[in-house]
Chain A
């Protein structure tokens, strides 16, 4: 475990240096990350301007949800999305050998090599916005609420990571399928809205149910509305899908052919 932590910290440091070296990229990336977050909040403001309740959620609750989504995506995009975007390139050009021949779990290595640290700006801004909303809407939270929120947020990250990884593993069989990343970004967009919106569309809901678990339970923890069923569902789904992602990855590697072998 210490070994993996050391590798992760080295990766973090290298990505930080890379960020400082390409300053134009740093500025562009920060603007696009923060800009996307700001616009998503503006959409909620607009939609709730004349509709006081929205799928059973009040306007205040939806704004809290949008702040939580920004924290979530800031972290997820920053820590993982860059790696998912490069996996198809790595597989296509036979560079996966470099990951497989190292004395480290290949899934861990390929998931943590690239980080877009500017996503952390979105996390900080999202957290500040969330704190502000909870204060002005008079929604008190205590340390246990915050800890539960962080725990459920962590489980949500594990769940979304596992879903992404399972889908991206398909590029082992279809190396030219680079825009499968775009497909996953489209699926991601479903987590911005309450589950209740999709419950009315039952066929669709079944298909996207795991995505609806990613951020809603964590947000409900802050709103004191989370149920034990939701917590257990999220825990179960995140652990099962994490296991499946590793199983599927190891199975897929049997079919990997590199440029040098």
Chain B
């Protein structure tokens, strides 16, 4: 375990080495948040409702997904593709370290830094903008939200790893990652809650894993789901996590058969 702790620490230190680059990244994140925040602030004036959301609920949703993006979507697993492409995978194959645990540890380091900054940024924004936020007090709901978030983190890591596996077959991992980013934006609930979509479309997407990345944890927090929906949703998340793990293992083993590296 100590070796993975060192990986987490190294990732943290690596980010601090390129501080300005990280700060620019955070400015970008805050700016994107503000664009969506002001869009909904103007769309839903105080005292009115749109798509079943009051201003308070919608702004809580938007700020909540912004925070959860730092927790769930912050990742280093995209570097796997380049790692495989340039042959550096060979070094990992001969070392006594699990390749996926290594990248998960890097993810944790990256998330820790992003969460630290997200807490500071959101606190400043709340003080300046004074949004009418909804705060959940039910401990059981908070506990279930935490469970959902945990599995969402693992699920997103598995998605990132699967995208990285493309590196075994193609030098271009950027475009599939970008397509996945578009999917996350729209179908994970990053830009808007999934339930504002037409009912048939929203129901269809409940059968995909994407809403369980961001939309589902936030809906639990907002107290908008009853117990049965929550438990079914968490079970669905666990099921998708298992399916993705199995699929990742299959792709990994197949990819290793194709893997060649020059000069290693």
Interface residues, chain A, with chain B CB atoms under 8 Å away:
22, 24-25, 28-29, 31-32, 35-36, 39, 42-43, 46-47, 50-51, 54-55, 174, 176-180, 182-183, 185-187, 189-190, 193, 197-198, 200-201, 204
Contacts and interface: CB of A to CB of B under 8 A. Distances in A.
Contacts of B27: 183
Contacts of A178: 21
Contacts of A174: 20
Given A32-B178, A182-B28, A39 B38 contact: no
Interface string B23-49: 011011001101100110011000000
A32 B20 contact: no
Nearest to A201: B38
A249 to B, nearest CB: 20
Contact of A198 (B38, B43, B182): B38
24 contacts: A24-B170, A28-B176, A32-B175, A32-B179, A32-B182, A39-B182, A39-B185, A43-B186, A43-B192, A46-B196, A46-B197, A50-B50, A177-B20, A177-B21, A177-B24, A178-B21, A179-B25, A179-B28, A182-B25, A183-B24, A183-B31, A186-B28, A186-B32, A200-B38
Contacts of B25: 179, 182-183
User: Chain A contact residues: over half helix, strand or loop, or mixed?
Assistant: helix
Contact of A204 (B20, B34, B179): B34
B258 interface: no
Looking at B38, B174, B185, which has the most chain A CB atoms within 10 Å of its CB? Answer: B38
A50 B176 CA distance: 33
Given A32-B178, A174-B20, A177-B21, 18 more contacts: A35-B179, A35-B182, A39-B186, A46-B196, A47-B192, A50-B51, A55-B42, A177-B20, A178-B21, A179-B25, A182-B24, A183-B25, A186-B32, A187-B31, A193-B39, A197-B38, A200-B38, A204-B34
Interface string B60-98: 000000000000000000000000000000000000000
Nearest to B173: A28
Contacts of B39: 193, 197
Contacts of B51: 50
Contacts of B31: 183, 186-187
B135 interface: no
B42 A31 contact: no
B141 interface: no
Contacts of B172: 22, 24-25, 28
Interface string B135-161: 000000000000000000000000000
B38 A204 contact: yes
Contacts of A51: 43, 50
A46 B192 contact: yes
| 3 residue pairs, one from A and one from B, having the closest CB atoms | A28-B175, A183-B28, A186-B28
Contact of B24 (A24, A25, A54, A179): A179
A123 to B, nearest CB: 18
